[in-house]
Structure 1
């Protein structure tokens, strides 16, 4: 009788320790993987929300340009000194924005 109770308590202790390790694993994944990714996404969304005509941008493909017009999810960008090179692109393709005031400093 005593050996059956000892086996059951050892088995339940094993389950409890496994659950504790799983909770620790999920907490680790949240604080080191999910949370930084959410912060980065919020930062990019605020950058795109503050986008204005005249800003200099860097695209994800590495091109620098100046914003000419902004629609819902589309931005018309002028590349280089040639005024005829205006290309519509998605806002999601913008990786960095530099305001004209920042460029002057």
Structure 2
């Protein structure tokens, strides 16, 4: 009586194939887009200048009045008295000042 069994080497090869396939799928669906988004954010942060109009992660719009290594001072509102220092990574969007 012949039993339908596959050899252990075929099973190991199939398992290795699935592991590589799932690793590649995870890379292209999770890791690669995240790296792309991080690169875009780093480019945005490095292009900031004094006078640029910004949107913060908390949803506030303001104008950059000073920039240091890892922080910016943003001025909010029309009264020019609300100046808040924040980290550069809290900036989501930058609109360049009109020349």
Query: What TM-score does the superposition give when structure 1 sets the normalisation length?
Result: 0.86
> Which 5+ residue runs of structure 1 have no aligned equivalent?
none
Higher helix fraction: Structure 1 or Structure 2? Answer: 1
Q: Distance in 1 between matches of 2:90 and 2:79?
A: 21
Structure 2 partner of 1:65? 62
Partner SS state of residue 100, structure 1:
coil
Q: CA deviation at 1:76?
A: 0.5
- Give the aligned CA root-mean-square deviation in angstroms: 1.8
> Which 5+ residue runs of structure 2 have no aligned equivalent?
none
Query: What TM-score does the superposition give when structure 2 sets the normalisation length?
Result: 0.91
Structure 2 partner of 1:94? 91
Q: Distance in 2 between matches of 1:81 and 1:96?
A: 20
Q: Which runs of 4+ in 1 moved over 3 A?
A: none
Structure with the greater alpha carbon radius of gyration: 1
